[in-house]
Amino acid sequence: MKLSQRITQINGGGSDGWGVFYKARQMVADGVPVTELTIGEHDIRTSQDILAAMNASAMAGHTGYAMVPGTDDLRRMVADRIAARTAVPTTKDNILITPGGQAALFATHMAVCNPGDTALFIDPYYATYPSTLRGAGAIPKAIVTSPDTAFQPTRAALAKAAKGATSLLVNSPNNPTGAVYSMATMTAIADTCIANDLWLISDEVYDTQVWEGEHISPRSLPGMAERTLVVGSMSKSHAMTGSRVGWICGPCDVISRLIDLAINTTYGVAGFVQDAAHFALGQGVEVEETVAAPFRRRRTLALEALDGQNVVRAVPAQGAMYVMLDIRATGLSGEAFADALLEAELIAVMPGESFGQAAAGHVRVAMTVADEAFTDALGRLVRFAQNHAKVAAQ
């Protein structure tokens, strides 16, 4: 007997690019004191108030099957939040609650792509994107960006890739680069989608983490509401990563079809988790700002740690909880640098190559440890890079 091609080809027959992360986690399990700057996991946990609301809901009996589309209260809350931030009329019928943003990414591509359709995405990309598209039966095709354009896709590159494609997946604020797409970039994306009749999947899970510029949801641009599916999540905005609660916002007819998919796949999200998310959103932007504040602060610390040298250069970090560092002056690939850094300094970072071709020669640093430990790790990373740059120059 054989497994399906759908499941055996999810990773495209190659590595998923997470070797350094797995190695670091094994070292931690073995008792080695590794400073982990790999994944986007807050160093705080879900707040006690949110957990109390979750517990109260569970103890009150909301532990059975919840409505598959999501509770009406949470769907309305999410719709109101989106409408207030984008000025696009949005109701609960535009919302499907999902088990986190990752499930939403898979569901949206299942909804718009037939087997064999070309699904576009931007390189660098969040590590699961190509695998998610393959899992949905699509053929992933990267639009490669450049450090020279701060990793923002150009109009020419978008237009060239769009011919014959079905969908385009974008992510702003961006993981891994920290880029916040400008109005010019978003307009080029919208124009490309309209001109080529593409569905747009907009991954906006970092919309509360903007340090420079402003977050623009492409659904708000002219002609885009009817062809855009927005992915959102409580994971990054409210430190609810393990709760697995996210959403899709889109046209009502698409959402109704996605509900059909949810009935036959996830069968919804636990009611007490949804009630906790409803409570969390009801606390307003102050809570979101509190969760985001450490990353804003550590971005400044990172830039200060890199000041006064030119071996390690930061890609402009306009948003999200990461800093992308250009380490090409060391003569090492991102993967070789990350592996050597882990061995020599017990600091774990993600190789840029884990996120695509465009990020080769870079590493991604998650700003997810306490300020003092973060500053120390960045200082040691810079000194490590400087030593390798000297060797490379000899």
The reply to whether 5-45+286-393 and 48-284 are identical in fold is: no
- pLDDT tens per residue across span 282-299: 999 999 999 999 999 999
> Is the model's pLDDT at 394 over the cut of 60?
no
Percent of the chain topping pLDDT 70: 97
User: Does domain 5-45+286-393 fall into CATH 3.90.1150.10?
Assistant: yes
Lowest pLDDT segment from 152-161, 227-236, 383-392: 383-392
Structural domain spans, the chain: 5-45+286-393, 48-284
Local confidence band at 389 (pLDDT 50, 70, 90 cut-offs): confident
Tokens of 223: 């002609």
Q: What is the pTM of this model?
A: 0.95
Q: With 70 as the cut, is the pLDDT of residue 13 above it? A: no
pLDDT number for residue 5: 85
pLDDT for 248 equals 99
- Separation CA 234–CA 100 (nearest Å): 8
**pLDDT tens across 326-336, in order?**
999 999 999 99
pLDDT per position as a tens digit, 240-274: 999 999 999 999 999 999 999 999 999 999 999 99
15 pLDDT band, cuts 50/70/90, is low
Whether pLDDT at 34 is above 80: yes
Token pair 């890739």 is found at 161
The CATH topology of domain 48-284 is: Aspartate Aminotransferase; domain 2 (3.40.640)
Quote the Cα angle for 331-14-28, to 5°.
70
Q: How sure is the predictor about 11, in pLDDT bands with cuts at 50, 70 and 90?
A: confident
Round the average pLDDT of the chain to a whole number and report it.
95
Say whether 323 sits in a helix, a strand or coil.
strand
Count the neighbouring beta carbons within 10 Å of the beta carbon of residue 135.
18
SS3 content of the chain, % helix, strand, coil (to 5): 50, 15, 35
**What pLDDT shows up at residue 46?**
97
Instruction: Cite the beta strand spans of the chain per DSSP E.
Output: 35-37, 95-98, 118-123, 139-144, 167-171, 199-203, 228-233, 246-249, 313-314, 322-326, 347-351, 362-366
Q: How many CB atoms lie within 10 A of CB 63?
A: 12
Q: If DSSP codes are grouped into helix, strand and coil, which group holds residue 199?
A: strand
Between CA 325 and CA 306 the distance in angstroms is: 10
Mean pLDDT of 75-92: 97
